[in-house]
Amino acid sequence: MAKPLVALLSGAGISTDSGIPDYRGPAGLWRRDPEAEKLVTYAYYMGDPEIRRRSWRMRRENRTLRAEPNAAHRAVAELERSGVPVRVITQNVDGLHQLAGMPARKVLELHGSARSVVCTGCGARGPMEDALARVAAGEEDPPCLECGSVLKSATVMFGEKLDPGVLGQAVAIAKACQVFFAVGSTLQVQPAAGLAGVAADHGARLVIVNAEPTPYDELADEVVRDPIGTALPRLLKEIGGGVQGVSP
């Protein structure tokens, strides 16, 4: 009997146990400091050198690059290693799924990666750590070393569009999977949130693991409010073992 294709959409909630705060939860960054959104809004970033300087300072202080995968990330990687076909579609930019052992080719980063930088002029890319080293050495707004244009994190800022190729792959996975987990996502940011509906419409078993209600709860076959760090490993272990209550 063929093992089901398992798709997992992960949001900020899967990484909070790694010390990375979420954005839209009850204590999320955008609720605590609405001004912080300007630092990751493309128009503000490109138009205001002071915003860029503040953004680079924020990146230096950001815990994302120092974070380690938690039990939930490891459980996903373990399921993939067990032989179950797994594809991760993540709204996160922290790279923790890959650090936990998921092959990079099986992880779709909808919103890019905070571990790289990209030039807004020539498109050159490089490690975020190298750019941050330049900031630490005194460059408050380091330009691209290739062409001198503005450098930014290789993440999708507010006001930028998702990579259509990556989004297309995500939609294809949502249509093809037999089980779709939405984990730690408020399912409020489109088009990523809509993938849960696409999966359900194409017959997948939809399991939502999130502390707060989401707009897709009524579509779900199962809604789990337990902490992700304990709930997801349990659910994925059942998938790996072929437990009837969870597999389609």
Q: Please give the positions annotated as active site.
A: 111
* Nearest alpha-carbon partner for 163 in 151, 152, 154: 154
- At 223, list the tokens: 């809604």
| Secondary structure of residue 179 in the 3-state scheme | strand
The size of the chain, in residues, is 248
Angle value at C-alpha 200, between 199 and 205, nearest 5 degrees: 95
Q: Peptide bond before 191: cis, by omega within 30 degrees of 0?
A: yes
* Nearest alpha-carbon partner for 104 in 83, 88, 127, 116: 88
What radius of gyration do the chain's Cα atoms show? 19
Q: Decide: 33 and 114 in contact? Cβ < 8 Å.
A: no
C-alpha distance across the termini of the chain, in Å: 12
Q: Decide: 134 and 108 in contact? Cβ < 8 Å.
A: no
